């Protein structure tokens, strides 16, 4: 895992430096103007959050079935990253909304469902930290519940009347907006991988310390 770290770090820095240049050169959106450019970091953050939720949910299922600690380490890592990238979405979204809608926050179905999904994963981390013995299984069940909410959050904008842009905005982007957008998605994926690798290593080393502590107490 260590051999991937340095190339990932260099690539992540390069991509994150180039991304704002591409975003600055992208055309303005006709109705929203400059503030729409938050979209280039806001949506990739949301994509990484959803990816994290799926990784956390799937590895939680594997952990519950196979009882493999390695699966739990992946799930914890992904759970924490879901909260971090979800926070990016919840901070950048209101900054966009203030200009585009005139309010920082509204209890719109997309915003509310996304906020609840984020809260589930905040709960996941709290259960992990303070739940005591057996909290790994309880939190794994929470992660599966959280994952089950993802399709609901995704389709909410297409079903209910909402102020939030629909899912079609991504598929209908013109070339001038699509290139910087997909570049940013790739940049976020690389950054996500870098953070994931680091956080997973921390979790694995922490588990080794606990194991050694148990071995030492047996002696």
In the complex, the smallest distance separating the C-beta of residue 20 from other proteins, rounded to whole angstroms, is 7
Q: Compare residues 4 and 160 and give the one whose CB is closer to other proteins.
A: 160
In the complex, the smallest distance separating the C-beta of residue 191 from other proteins, rounded to whole angstroms, is 7
Q: How far apart are the first and last CA of the chain?
A: 32
Dist CA 117 CA 150 (whole Å): 8
Q: Compare residues 93 and 127 and give the one whose CB is closer to other proteins.
A: 93
CA nearest 192: which of 2, 15, 3, 33?
15
Q: Compare residues 61 and 185 and give the one whose CB is closer to other proteins.
A: 61
Q: Compare residues 60 and 127 and give the one whose CB is closer to other proteins.
A: 60
Cβ of 1: how many Cβ atoms within 10 Å? 9
CA nearest 54: which of 187, 146, 186, 184?
146
In the complex, the smallest distance separating the C-beta of residue 127 from other proteins, rounded to whole angstroms, is 19
Beta strands in 102-168 (DSSP E): none
In the complex, the smallest distance separating the C-beta of residue 170 from other proteins, rounded to whole angstroms, is 9
Q: What is the CA radius of gyration of the chain?
A: 19
């Amino acid at each position: 895992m260590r051999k991937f770290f340095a190339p990932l770090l260099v690539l992540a820095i390069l991509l994150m430096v180039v991304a704002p240049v591409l975003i600055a050169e992208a055309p303005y959106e006709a109705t929203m103007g400059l503030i729409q450019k938050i979209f280039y970091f806001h949506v990739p953050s949301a994509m990484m959050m959803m990816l994290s939720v799926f990784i956390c949910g799937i590895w939680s299922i594997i952990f519950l079935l196979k009882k493999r600690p390695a699966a739990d380490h992946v799930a914890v890592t992904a759970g924490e990253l879901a909260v971090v990238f979800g926070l990016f979405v919840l901070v950048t979204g209101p900054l966009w909304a203030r200009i585009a809608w005139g309010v920082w926050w509204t209890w719109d179905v997309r915003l509310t469902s996304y906020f609840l999904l984020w809260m589930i994963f905040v709960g996941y981390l709290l259960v992990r930290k303070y739940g005591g013995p057996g909290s790994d299984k309880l939190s794994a069940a929470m992660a599966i519940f959280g994952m089950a909410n993802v399709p609901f959050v995704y389709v909410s904008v297409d079903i209910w009347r909402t102020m939030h842009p629909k899912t079609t905005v991504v598929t209908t982007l013109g070339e001038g907006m699509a290139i910087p957008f997909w570049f940013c998605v790739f940049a976020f994926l690389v950054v996500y991988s870098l953070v994931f690798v680091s956080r997973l290593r921390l979790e694995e080393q922490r588990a080794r310390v606990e194991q050694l502590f148990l071995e030492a107490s047996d002696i």
